[in-house]
Structure 1
Amino acid sequence: MRNISQKLKYPILGLVSAIALLVIWSFIEPRVLNIETETAKIPNLPPSWQGKQIGQISDFQIGLWGDNRGTARRSVAKLVEAKPAVVLITGDFIYKPGSNIKPEIETAVDIVRPLIEADIPTYAVLGNHDYGMSSRSASPQTEQAERLRTALESAGIKVLDNESVQLQLPDSDDTLYLVGIGSLWANRDDPEQALSDVPDSSPRITMMHNPDSFEKFPANSAPLAVAGHTHGGQLRVPGLPQWSWLRFTQKDQVYADGWAKGFGEPGNQLYVNTGIGMSIAPIRLFCPPELTFFTLQAD
């Protein structure tokens, strides 16, 4: 028996040490910003938009204990340095609206304000947490969401809610449409309404918070769509992004990270950003925070 105990001693110590290291790293990894560069093809893209960059960040979750506001600020600093043509922020600025969310709103706005000061056109949609919804069964806190929307727009960030805007470069009249979808969990996502003012076959980018909204888009109506919400699963198996915490907690198929191949209608493509912040606990494992740059090309 003693020999068996001796033989097991070191493997057990090794296992315990490995687990301890993973736990420690899960609190460090949120401070490691991953910058992804992608090429996005858009039918009928005007020549002036060829090669231009679009930046995407998502899911700050300001207000979670131990939130990741430092990395959020660094992601914005990287965007200011790169100065893309447009920046898209795909929701969940704050974590859990309460009786007094003024500090969280002020922090979120302060984080993104440098984008406006750098004259970078910046657009946003709201997510479920911006409505105080940590689950689909929760009641949306519309008043709190409106307070956030007002603060963002006062700072110069346009918040889209089932609507489109025309994007134009300073030295060109060529138009690229941006379509923004409301929060799915708040029962505010309406692609039909959002697309109503977009001419057929016109070049467009679509942004939403929840990837599940993407399934509602008709074929060939969202050649480039971006979303957040999933946090990449937050805890993942290294090298296997689809094997995440979401895989074990969601009944339906979840696209947690990167291009959602085979998802949605023909002619539509969705990219899911893993976000900056976190839910429940301020940890990430093999799923670092993400800043994404898309280089536009004509298809």
Structure 2
Amino acid sequence: MKIIKYSLLLLAAFLTLLLLWGTFGVPYQIDYHEERAEIPNLPSAWQNQQVALIADLQVGMWLSNKNTVKDIAERLSRQKPSVVLIAGDFIYHPIGDESEEETREEYEQEDVEEIFSELRHALSLLSPLTDSNIPIYAVLGNHDYAMEKPDDTKLAWLAQQVQTALEDAGITVLVNETVALESPGNQEDAPLYLVGIGSHYAGNDDPHRALAQLPDDAARIVLMHNPDSFVSFPAGAAPLALAGHTHGGQIRLPWRSDWSWMAMLADDEVHTDGWINGYGNPDNRLYVNRGIGFSVIPVRLNAAPEVTLFTLY
């Protein structure tokens, strides 16, 4: 009996230490992960240029690692990549299905004030980056519509407020739109295009509308929040697609990276992180960033927050 008792105590101590490490350790061990990314017809001005990708700030989540967001913004402002891309979920505050209306009047004023407080805080954390004159582009995520689950009521007015605040801070938000990126050093060259896709949970992702704005055979990067938007791209339309949303599964077994806590909660397949093979149409390639913040619980295990630095060729 003593052996069993001591074994249970050891197990409890181990699980407690693991939980503490997942709460106060891993979330602050930022992985600045470097990748090389091939883009067909890439203009010479963009050869070997660096593109930074971050996602899922989730500011407003309890025990959210806000200092991590600030540290990342400060480091990228010093590192000066040619462009910074943010794959949505700036704020966390999910209201869920408390109302079927998409109007502000349905909610307590304190809820509205809390949401905008989260947004102001997110922008203050990003200020080292927005003050650096580095071009920054973003798409919106489900939490920017106050949605935690696909069947939650989307708040279009909230998403519009988030977009307006981001753009006032110097972050260009794309919703099923395509823009030509300014060539590094203002070199005269053919443009590299960025295709930004709307929120999948909000039913607002329309790749075909965004792609219709592209010249034929144009070099492009595709940015989306949810990897599930990727499957809608025609073959060869997204040779470099970038997403977030999954937090890398948030809690994963070290010897089974395909097993994750978020995958267990999902009704369908979760594409956790890294290059995703065997998904989508031919000649399209998707990279999923693990993001910075949390969902539901403030714990990360074997899924450190990630900044991805792509060198283009």
What range is the shorter-chain TM-score in? Answer: over 0.9
Which residue identity lines up with residue 56 of structure 2 in the other structure?
D
Paired position in structure 1 for 2:29 = 32
Distance (whole Å) between structure 1 residues aligned to residue 89 and residue 4 of structure 2:
47
SS in 1 for 2:151: coil
The superposition leaves residues 4-53 of structure 1 with CA deviations (integer Å, 9 ceiling, x where unpaired) of x2333433332122111111111112122111111101001111111100
Q: TM-score, normalised by structure 1?
A: 0.95
Q: TM-score, normalised by structure 2?
A: 0.91
Distance (whole Å) between structure 1 residues aligned to residue 68 and residue 46 of structure 2:
29
Cα displacement (A) at 1:58:
0.5
The superposition leaves residues 168-210 of structure 1 with CA deviations (integer Å, 9 ceiling, x where unpaired) of 2233122100000000111110001111111121110000000
Higher mean displacement: 58-67 or 97-106: 97-106
Contact 1:242 1:257 in 2 (8 A): no
- Pair 1:173 & 2:173 matched: no
SS in 1 for 2:38: strand
Distance (whole Å) between structure 1 residues aligned to residue 157 and residue 286 of structure 2:
30
Paired position in structure 2 for 1:8 = 4
Paired position in structure 2 for 1:22 = 18
Q: How does 1:1-299 map to 2 (within 5 A)?
A: 5-28=1-24, 29-96=26-93, 98-100=111-113, 101-167=115-181, 168-174=183-189, 175-297=191-313
SS in 2 for 1:187: coil
Distance (whole Å) between structure 2 residues aligned to residue 78 and residue 241 of structure 1:
28
CA RMSD in angstroms comes to 1.2
SS in 2 for 1:110: helix
Contact 1:41 1:296 in 2 (8 A): yes
Which residue identity lines up with residue 11 of structure 2 in the other structure?
L
Higher mean displacement: 112-121 or 8-17: 8-17
Distance (whole Å) between structure 1 residues aligned to residue 64 and residue 8 of structure 2:
33
Give the paired residue count. Answer: 293
Higher mean displacement: 33-42 or 109-118: 109-118
Cα displacement (A) at 1:152:
0.6
Distance (whole Å) between structure 1 residues aligned to residue 255 and residue 76 of structure 2:
27
Which residue identity lines up with residue 124 of structure 1 in the other structure?
A
Contact 1:241 1:257 in 2 (8 A): no
Distance (whole Å) between structure 2 residues aligned to residue 296 and residue 169 of structure 1:
12
Structure 1 runs of 4+ with >3 Å offset: none
Higher mean displacement: 147-156 or 168-177: 168-177
SS in 2 for 1:170: helix
SS in 1 for 2:52: strand
SS in 1 for 2:294: coil
State percent identity of aligned pairs.
Answer: 48
Runs (5+) with no aligned partner, structure 1: none
Which residue identity lines up with residue 209 of structure 1 in the other structure?
H
Distance (whole Å) between structure 2 residues aligned to residue 239 and residue 82 of structure 1:
33
Distance (whole Å) between structure 1 residues aligned to residue 15 and residue 120 of structure 2:
38
Distance (whole Å) between structure 2 residues aligned to residue 6 and residue 143 of structure 1:
61
SS in 2 for 1:220: coil
Distance (whole Å) between structure 2 residues aligned to residue 92 and residue 198 of structure 1:
26
SS in 2 for 1:242: strand
Distance (whole Å) between structure 1 residues aligned to residue 284 and residue 75 of structure 2:
29
Distance (whole Å) between structure 2 residues aligned to residue 173 and residue 164 of structure 1:
20
